[in-house]
């Protein structure tokens, strides 16, 4: 009876999960994964589709002006940049930052504006020197049926904005964003894990198609307005997919909240970080891979510990109760105490084996949980 009571002491069972949780949380923080929601982290193993926002997530998020084209008469490229910079000085968008850098590099004086107004998901407008000026996306022109000069075409790698004066297009500013060098490796590894990767962007089809093809993604959603991002997540979930969303901007917050797992890039907005269950401190796409692999290994360690703790009781308790007494096998209280202590030690040691090691992946080095 005394041996049975000793064996029943649930040390191993009670420590099986908490030890793994404590170990994984510490390792996550050490490797740039801020876990704000434990359930989201442990559910990372269920991800079937991972949706990436483009700007600032798969790309550096630093747009540089690569093309300035004037349509109106009596305007120079500097005049066009000056008008665009005047409007964009009140915006925090990466495209606005790129135009302002171009204005500073060109020594253009930025004019004062009046009546600044943001056109949700389409651009900005304000009054400059008595004229209403707009800096808008190509989607705005299509919506308002504003024609472009004959023969004009944006390059596939460009993310461009048009400058309008009195609803007439007077120029185009093309910008380009560099893809992060780690993005392609992250997509390849996710594919190896059986996870589909989708691109979600407000850019036009040409840009989205090029980035998606270059990174080897499964598909893309282009020209998506901020309020439509959440609908795209719902659409994928409606197909039975377990969806994770990775983004960095204020516009991504609703999609991050609605996704099964929201992953925010650390260099992004505070709203995105507050909404997401997991934050990638280092803003590295490879950290998404580490997150998923780490989540799978953490869950596996929990199952191993629970299996050991349960199996120990299932075997040791009948022995302590005398099921093999007729064959001369009976556990003494001292032996029961040793087994009970050993089971706790095994659970603790198994949890401590959760660690991060380097592993060669096609053929670059990628941190992987083993």
Q: State yes or no: is 53 an active-site residue.
A: yes
Q: Which residues pair with 244 in a beta bridge?
A: 50, 261
- Taking a C-beta distance cutoff of 8 angstroms, is the pair 299, 42 a contact? yes
From residue 1, alpha-carbon distances to 4, 107, 153 in Å are: 5, 89, 86
Q: 3-class secondary structure for the chain?
A: CHHHHHHHCCHHHHHHHHHHHHHHHHHHHHCCEEECCHHHHHHHHHCCEEEEEHHHHHECCCCEEEEEEECCCCCCHHHHHHHHHHHHCCCCCHHHHHHHHHHHHCCCCCCCCEEEEEECCCEEEEEECCEEEEEECHHHHHHHCCCCCCCCCCCCCCEEEEEEECCEEEEEEEEECCECCCHHHHHHHHHHCCCEEEEECCCCHHHHHHHHHHHCCCEEECCCCHHHHHHHHHHHHHCCCCEEEEECCHHHHHHHHHCCEEEEECCCCHHHHHHCCEEECCCCCHHHHHHHHHHHHHHHHHHHHHHHHHHHHHHHHHHHHCCCHHHCCCCCHHHHHHHHHHHHHHHHHHHHCCCEEEEEECCEEEEEEC
- Measured N-to-C along each axis, helices 183-192 and 205-215 cross at an angle, to the nearest 10 degrees, of 70
53, 177, 203, 248: which one is catalytic? 53
Which residues are known catalytic residues? Answer: 53
């Amino acid at each position: 009876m005394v041996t049975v009571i000793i064996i029943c002491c649930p040390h191993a069972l009670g420590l099986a999960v908490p030890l793994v949780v404590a170990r994984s949380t510490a390792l996550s923080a050490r490797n740039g994964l801020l876990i704000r929601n434990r359930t989201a982290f442990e559910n990372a193993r269920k991800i079937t589709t991972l949706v990436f926002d483009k700007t600032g997530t798969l790309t550096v998020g630093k747009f540089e002006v690569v093309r300035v084209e004037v349509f109106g008469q009596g305007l120079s490229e500097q005049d066009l940049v000056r008008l665009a910079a005047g409007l964009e000085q009140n915006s925090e968008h990466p495209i606005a930052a790129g135009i302002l850098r171009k204005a500073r590099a060109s020594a253009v004086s930025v004019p004062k504006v009046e009546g600044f107004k943001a056109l949700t998901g389409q651009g900005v407008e304000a009054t400059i020197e008595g004229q209403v000026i707009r800096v808008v996306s190509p989607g705005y022109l299509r919506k308002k049926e504003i024609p472009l000069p004959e023969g004009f075409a944006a390059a596939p790698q460009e993310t461009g904005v048009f400058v309008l004066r009195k609803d007439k297009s007077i120029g185009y500013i093309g910008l380009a964003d560099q893809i992060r060098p780690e993005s392609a490796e992250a997509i390849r590894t996710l594919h190896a894990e059986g996870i589909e990767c989708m691109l979600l962007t407000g850019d036009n089809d040409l840009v989205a198609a090029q980035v998606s093809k270059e990174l080897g993604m499964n598909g893309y959603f282009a020209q998506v307005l901020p309020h439509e991002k959440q609908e795209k997540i719902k659409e994928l979930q409606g197909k039975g997919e377990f969806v994770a969303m990775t983004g960095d901007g204020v516009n991504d917050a609703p999609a991050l909240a609605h996704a099964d797992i929201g992953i925010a890039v650390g260099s992004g907005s505070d709203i995105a970080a507050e909404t997401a269950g997991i934050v990638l401190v280092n803003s590295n796409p490879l950290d998404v891979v580490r997150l998923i692999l780490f989540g799978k290994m953490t869950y596996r360690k929990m199952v191993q510990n629970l299996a050991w703790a349960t199996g120990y009781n299932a075997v040791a308790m009948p022995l302590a109760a005398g099921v093999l007494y007729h064959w001369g096998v009976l556990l003494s209280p001292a032996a029961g105490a040793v087994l009970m202590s050993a089971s706790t030690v095994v659970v603790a040691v198994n949890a401590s084996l959760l660690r991060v090691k380097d592993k060669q992946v096609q053929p670059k080095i990628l941190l992987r949980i083993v």
